[in-house]
Amino acid sequence: MVFSSLTFLYVFLPVVLLVYWLAPKGLKNMILLIASLLFYAWGEPVYITIMLFSSLVDYSHGLLIEKYRQHPWLPKLILLSSVCINLSILFFFKYTDFVLHNLNAWLGTNLALLDLPLPIGISFFTFQTMSYTIDVYRDAVPVQRNLINFATYVTLFPQLIAGPIVRYSEVAREIDERTISWPGFYAGIWRLLIGLGKKVLLANNIGLLWEEISRQTSLSLASAWLGAAAFGLQIYFDFSGYSDMAIGLGRMLGFNFPENFNYPYISQSITEFWRRWHITLGSWFRDYVYFPLGGSRVSGFRYWRNLFLVWFLTGFWHGAAWNFILWGLYMGLLIAVERLFLAKLLRRVSRPLRHLYVLLALMPSWALFAIEDLTQLRAYLGIMLGLGGARLVDPVFVYYLGNNALLGAILLLAATPFFAQLARRVKPKSRLRWLQPIVLVIILFLTTAYLVADTYNPFLYFRF
């Protein structure tokens, strides 16, 4: 089940909210746990056991770390056990076939692939549970002694399958005690429906353009760049829209989840872009991988090793395919070049030129991210770089650009704070405050009509 479905919006969510509101305070976490398990079981009932096992592993390891905290080496061994179990589960389901496939290709073997379905959201909830045991080991959070409360944190359906990656430290107090107010609930509805509109009305429609261009057997340079731009906009509105919905649902239930996007396309450097894009993943790798390795405090080989290791892992986290690894290393290379000399040069040029640099540098990265077949990827990147004799412009480009001009203009504005700034000008006591609920009703109506028509409605991060 996904948030952008009629079943979720008109059946699951209203029933859960009604039962949750009517339940006494002591049963609210139990209600959320049951609802979250039902939400997950809708798509993959068998894999509930994996999520519950992961919850039990980190719950018990947290208790053991707390119990033996004064021991000179046992807490570190317990932490190592937790990390190894979690990464083993993630590796087995997500990366085993990738390794077997490459061994067969390199060594000429014929090892049978497992062909296991990927448990939905495993990359997200694995990182969440690991952050808990690591923070307990660091004595950064209090240990959770109530198994129901801890399982509620792990399985919490608003952020279960696509984040944001919510660390236990960020919701520890709210897991035990939270309040639901009408202003918070209304803010949650607003955020939920804005995210729904971004996902269904914007991401889905520009995604159709990418689908059409990616199916073409012959492209011009302009068409290839248009396709990459369409995918870049699709993945932004798809993922940030889903994050908005998750944050809004959290507010409706009394939780305050961290922000995951902050208008990344207005960035003036790739370094800034990654401070604004998938913020919770970047901060997770920074705090649990980059800093423990020494971060930027070390010099020479170790400094560059840390940087490229983090970006290799960032790419590999997104998917068990070489294109994701190449995508991560490409991003790491851009950041490395900025740290070496480019950042100083960028500060000397105007903001429009810095912004143009970011957009041009990002376009090849979206081709790397979108195309898993390396042969097709090489051909597509060759066209983008003007290799292979591709034409500069073709009728395909003119046709698709003209048909999507209005949508493109809306997307470009929506990728900036423009609409958010307009909304903030409507004060609670303003005469225009009635516009907000009207906007919400219009968004709900349009998205419902779109979903009733059973049109194109993928979710790109569902596979991670």
**DSSP letters spanning 64-99:** HHHHTTTSSSHHHHHHHHHHHHHHHHHHHHHTHHHH
Residue ending a domain, among 178, 198, 231, is 178
Give the distance, in angstroms, between the CA of residue 328 and the centroid of all CA atoms in the same chain: 15
Q: Residue 125 pLDDT more than 60? A: yes
Q: Where are the beta strands (DSSP E) in 177-325?
A: none
Calculate the alpha carbon distances from 67 to 60, 82, 101, 149 in Å: 11, 15, 43, 19
In this structure, the answer to whether residues 20 and 162 fall within a common structural domain is: yes
Range of 192's domain? 184-463
Q: Residue 463 pLDDT more than 60? A: no
Catalytic residue among 61, 71, 278, 318: 318
In this structure, the answer to whether residues 215 and 342 fall within a common structural domain is: yes
Residue ending a domain, among 145, 178, 211, is 178
String of DSSP letters for 411-427: HHHHTTTHHHHHHHTS-
Taking the C-alpha atoms of residue 279 and residue 1, their distance in angstroms, rounded to an integer, is 25
In this structure, the answer to whether residues 250 and 369 fall within a common structural domain is: yes
User: Is 344 within the bounds of a domain?
Assistant: yes
Q: Supply the DSSP symbol for 118.
A: P
Taking the C-alpha atoms of residue 400 and residue 393, their distance in angstroms, rounded to an integer, is 12
Tokens 């905290």, residue located: 69
Range in 6-20, 106-120, 285-299, 418-432 with the lowest mean pLDDT: 418-432
Calculate the alpha carbon distances from 284 to 222, 287, 310, 311, 462 in Å: 37, 5, 10, 12, 20
Helix (H) or strand (E) holding 362, with range, is helix 351-370
- Please write the tens of the pLDDT for every residue from 289-316: 999 999 888 888 899 999 999 999 999 9
Structure tokens at 262: 């902050």
Q: What is residue 346's predicted lDDT score, i.e. its pLDDT?
A: 92
Q: Residue 239 pLDDT more than 70? A: yes
Torsion over CA: 174, 175, 181, 187 (sign): positive
Taking the C-alpha atoms of residue 132 and residue 144, their distance in angstroms, rounded to an integer, is 9
- Please write the tens of the pLDDT for every residue from 130-142: 999 999 999 999 9
Structure tokens at 353: 């030129």
Taking the C-alpha atoms of residue 111 and residue 131, their distance in angstroms, rounded to an integer, is 34
Q: How many CB atoms are closer than 10 A to CB 186?
A: 15
User: Is 207 within the bounds of a domain?
Assistant: yes
Buried b (16+ CB within 10 A) or exposed e, 441-461: eebbeebeebbeeeeebebbb
In this structure, the answer to whether residues 151 and 289 fall within a common structural domain is: no
Amino acid at 352: P
User: Is 1 within the bounds of a domain?
Assistant: no
Give the predicted TM-score (pTM) of the model: 0.93
In this structure, the answer to whether residues 208 and 92 fall within a common structural domain is: no
SS3 assignment, position 139: coil
String of DSSP letters for 152-211: HHHH-GGGTTT-----HHHHHHHHH-----HHHHHHHHHHHHHHHHIIIIIIHHHHHHHH
Grade residue 104 by pLDDT with cuts at 50, 70 and 90: very high
> Of 193, 189, 192, which Cα lies nearest the Cα of 180?
189
In this structure, the answer to whether residues 149 and 95 fall within a common structural domain is: yes
Q: Please list the helix, strand and coil fractions of the chain in percent, rounded to the nearest 5, in that order.
A: 75, 0, 25
Q: What percent of the chain has pLDDT over 90?
A: 71
Q: What is residue 451's predicted lDDT score, i.e. its pLDDT?
A: 87
SS3 assignment, position 11: helix
> Of 456, 420, 1, which Cα lies nearest the Cα of 202?
456
Taking the C-alpha atoms of residue 406 and residue 339, their distance in angstroms, rounded to an integer, is 38
Taking the C-alpha atoms of residue 150 and residue 164, their distance in angstroms, rounded to an integer, is 18
In this structure, the answer to whether residues 219 and 108 fall within a common structural domain is: no
Is 355 annotated in the active site? no
Mean pLDDT score, 9-32: 93
Q: What is residue 458's predicted lDDT score, i.e. its pLDDT?
A: 65
Polymer length of the chain: 464
Long-range contacts (CB closer than 8 Å, 24 or more residues apart) made by 437-440? 440/189, 440/190, 440/193
SS3 assignment, position 453: coil
Amino acid at 428: P
Taking the C-alpha atoms of residue 268 and residue 271, their distance in angstroms, rounded to an integer, is 8
Number of domains in the chain: 2
In this structure, the answer to whether residues 413 and 297 fall within a common structural domain is: yes
Grade residue 435 by pLDDT with cuts at 50, 70 and 90: confident
If you average pLDDT over every residue of the chain, what do you get? 91
User: Is 153 within the bounds of a domain?
Assistant: yes
In this structure, the answer to whether residues 395 and 323 fall within a common structural domain is: yes
Calculate the alpha carbon distances from 211 to 261, 415, 452 in Å: 25, 21, 21
In this structure, the answer to whether residues 410 and 354 fall within a common structural domain is: yes
In this structure, the answer to whether residues 294 and 429 fall within a common structural domain is: yes
Amino acid at 213: I
Residue ending a domain, among 152, 178, 204, is 178
Give the distance, in angstroms, between the CA of residue 59 and the centroid of all CA atoms in the same chain: 25
User: Is 164 within the bounds of a domain?
Assistant: yes
In this structure, the answer to whether residues 239 and 172 fall within a common structural domain is: no
